[in-house]
Amino acid sequence: MEYNKIGSVLISRGLISEGDWENLSSKGPSTLAEVSEALVETGKVSETDWATTVAEAYELPYLPEITEVDQELLSKVPSDLAFKRLALPIRRDNGSIVVAVTDPEPEQVYEDFRILTGQRIRVEIAAEKTLRQAIQKSYGATVERMAADLGGGEKLGEGTDEAELEVDHDIGNLRELAGEPTVVNLVNLILFEAIRDRASDIHIEPFESELKLRYRMDGILKEMPPPPRHLRLAITSRIKIMAGMNIAERFVPQDGHIKLSVEGRSIDLRASCCPTIYGESVVLRILDKSALILDIEQLGLAEEDRAAFNEVIRRPHGIFLVTGPTGSGKTTTLYTALSQIFSPELKIITVEDPVEYHLNGVCQIQVNPKRGVTFATGLRSIMRQDPDVIMVGEIRDGETAEIAIRSALTGHLVFSTLHTNTAAGAIPRLLDMGIDPFLISSSLNGVLAQRLVRRICSDCKEEYKPSAEEKMLCRWQHIDKIKFYRGAGCETCGGSGFKGRVGIFELILLDDPIRELILKRPSASMIAQAAKTRSFREDGWSKVGAGITTLDEVLRVAVDD
């Protein structure tokens, strides 16, 4: 890899600083894809800037757009290979085949395309979004087009009523429908496009007259072109087969698990089927291991809070809690904490439901109530494993809370999560679970509450003047001196103006006055007043001022602050 040249180009173009590059180099990315992941995936550099940087560093042509593709070449290269290698043959040139790529390094691309075309291969660089769209357009492989194609003519599965499939001998009919190439391809495309768009969840929902398809992207559900409703049973059955569920059972909720490999990335999907009045609703949670970046700087903590967080997670014993609603990034924060303190000298054990990502060097236990493994029983077992650090995925009841706190009091460092809206609310929640105030006061090191706001897309970011109403809502001193930004909407962000998310936080570290206050069973407001912590909105305002997010985002997420 032209590692140093990549850095020189990025710095000379003012895309990153020398300090940023030195910091990245110290973390040791060894391939172009890893450098791209560290810079583009985190929003530091846009896809377009990255592509032009690679083209300049490797002295290759840059393709701002891909408008025409040689159809004869497409017939020689299977679509699945183009998607897998993220490479598209576009034209012939002086006895060579020109292939559009984002990464000019992998030798397998040259080898595969040389064998398929029988000619020499020359590459040109395109931005990832541009290339993906060109591949989809060239092969006609989009959910929208396939859904339209399937919607006309002879309809696969039409007339297959649910009542007809309630008896055992019709299970073969379901399996046959689920195995049809059109259904297999459609389901694969739904999954692939969701992964490509960095969705966290896929929703397939039956209604009286339609089948809805929605992706949750950056925390917001977005409607996609719907598959034909007459394929509902076939699509649901295909997903249930992939997830190891019982396709004959359609009136009881089921959970399953799917493992995929997409462009060399290991993807896990947690599948859930739930019966509704119009059929089964399917939700797939996407867990992309390559997208998990355990970098404390990427969490979004302010410098002062980051220093405090670094200190509290390195204490020899005590319990540290992370709170927030479902999907607010609590698990990522805990995994980041474990990665920060990881050492061969420490025994780290977790008990989780589910184990979302595998951490090297960490013993992870999966909760399985059917086999008697709960958070409480798992914790008891962990205590016989000579741990130094324990992570409990969630404190759901008083029994788990008491075991976790007593573990912290016996010389262990414990991390866990609670479902409370604020950092101060964690203490009354523990009291409500029946935990003695003295035990809380003696064991609790701190509480971090968090929520996620969307980042402004770096490709379409623009300055604007806030309205009088926005200024009033903000109540920010020196507001006239602050520059406000928003995303205009572009191809990179799908027109939303946002790409990626970042946390806003409240952090409370317990000191002697707060420990004494806990003994009096205080309310959340009393604790917040004593802690004098920065609120969600205050942390959000600082990110607005830094051009990271918008006023509307902070107000949307911090509604009860």
Q: Is the pLDDT of residue 259 over 50?
A: yes
Residue where one domain finishes, among candidates 112, 127, 142? 127
Is residue 202 pLDDT above 90, yes or no? Answer: yes
- 230-244 pLDDT, tens digit each: 888 889 999 999 999
> Is 239:213 a contact under the CB 8 Å cutoff?
no
Least confident of 188-197, 245-254, 400-409: 188-197
Same-domain check for residues 180 and 118: no
Q: Is residue 547 part of a domain?
A: no
Domain count, the chain: 3
Percent of the chain at pLDDT > 70 equals: 89
Instruction: Provide the pLDDT for residue 440.
Output: 97
* pLDDT number for residue 143: 52
Residue 560 DSSP SS3: coil
1 in the same domain as 57: yes
Mean pLDDT of the chain: 86
pLDDT the model gives residue 272 = 97
User: Do 340 and 416 belong to one domain?
Assistant: yes
Looking at the fold, whether 271 and 309 belong to one and the same domain comes out as no
Q: What is the pLDDT of residue 390?
A: 97
88-112 pLDDT, tens digit per residue, is 999 999 889 999 999 998 888 888 8
Whether 381 and 529 share a structural domain: yes
Q: How confident is residue 42, by pLDDT bands cut at 50, 70 and 90?
A: low
Range of the domain at 68: 1-127
Q: Please identify, among 288, 305, 325, the residue that sits at the C-terminal boundary of a domain.
A: 288
For residues 382 and 443, membership in a common domain is answered with yes
Whether residue 331 sits in one domain with residue 200: no
- Is residue 255 classed as helix, strand or coil in its secondary structure? strand
Other CB atoms within 10 A of residue 421 CB:
20
Give the position of tokens 């495309």: 189
Q: Is residue 46 part of a domain?
A: yes
Is 476 within a domain? Answer: no
Residues 317 and 402 reside in one and the same domain: yes
Q: Is 478 left (phi over 0), alpha (psi -120 to 50) or beta?
A: left
Per-residue pLDDT tens over the stretch 481-524:
778 899 998 877 878 899 999 999 999 999 999 999 999 999 99
What stretches of 152-276 show up as alpha helix (H) in DSSP?
171-178, 181-196, 232-242
- First-to-last CA distance in the chain? 48
Q: Tell me, what CATH number does 374's domain have? A: 3.40.50.300
pLDDT at 556 over 60: yes
pLDDT reported for residue 136: 75
- pTM for the complete prediction? 0.71
Q: What is the rounded CA–CA span in Å between residue 158 and residue 203?
A: 22
Are residues 313 and 283 located together in one domain of the fold?
A: no
Q: Note the residue count of the chain.
A: 561
331 domain-assigned: yes
Spatial distance between the Cα atoms of 29 and 11, rounded to a whole number of angstroms: 17
Q: Please name the residue ranges forming H helices in 410-506.
A: 426-432, 437-443, 468-474
Contact indicator for 143, 227 with CB cutoff of 8 Å: yes
Average pLDDT, stretch 353-365? 90
Q: Residue 354: is the preceding peptide bond cis (ω within 30°)?
A: yes
What confidence tens digit (pLDDT) does each residue in 442-488 have? 999 999 999 999 999 988 999 988 877 776 766 665 566 778 899 99
Q: Is residue 10, in this structure, part of any structural domain at all?
A: yes
Query: Among the listed ranges 28-42, 188-202, 206-220, 335-349, which one has the minimum average pLDDT value?
Result: 28-42
Strand partners for 204:
213, 282
* Whether 435 and 345 share a structural domain: yes
pLDDT in tens, 127-185: 988 998 888 777 754 455 555 555 544 444 444 444 433 434 356 666 776 777 778 87
pLDDT computed for residue 33 by the predictor? 78
pLDDT-based confidence at residue 290 (cuts at 50, 70, 90): confident
| Residue 327 confidence (pLDDT) above 70 | yes
313 and 445 fall within a common domain: yes
Going by pLDDT thresholds of 50, 70 and 90, the confidence category of residue 46 is confident
155 in a domain, yes or no?
no
Task: Look at residues 288, 318, 350 and tell me which one is the last residue of a structural domain.
Answer: 288
Q: Region of 349 please: left (phi>0), alpha (psi -120 to 50) or beta.
A: beta
Q: Which pLDDT belongs to residue 142?
A: 46
CATH assignment of the domain containing 256: 3.30.450.90
* Phi, psi (rounded to 5 degrees) for 176: -65, -45
- Does the pLDDT at position 245 exceed 90? yes
Reported confidence tier of residue 532, pLDDT bands at 50, 70, 90: confident
Residue 147 lies in a domain: no
pLDDT given at position 165: 39
Does 15 fall in a domain? yes
- Same domain assignment for residues 280 and 305: no
What are 51-64's pLDDT values in tens digits? Answer: 999 999 999 999 99
Give me the pLDDT at residue 6, please. 87
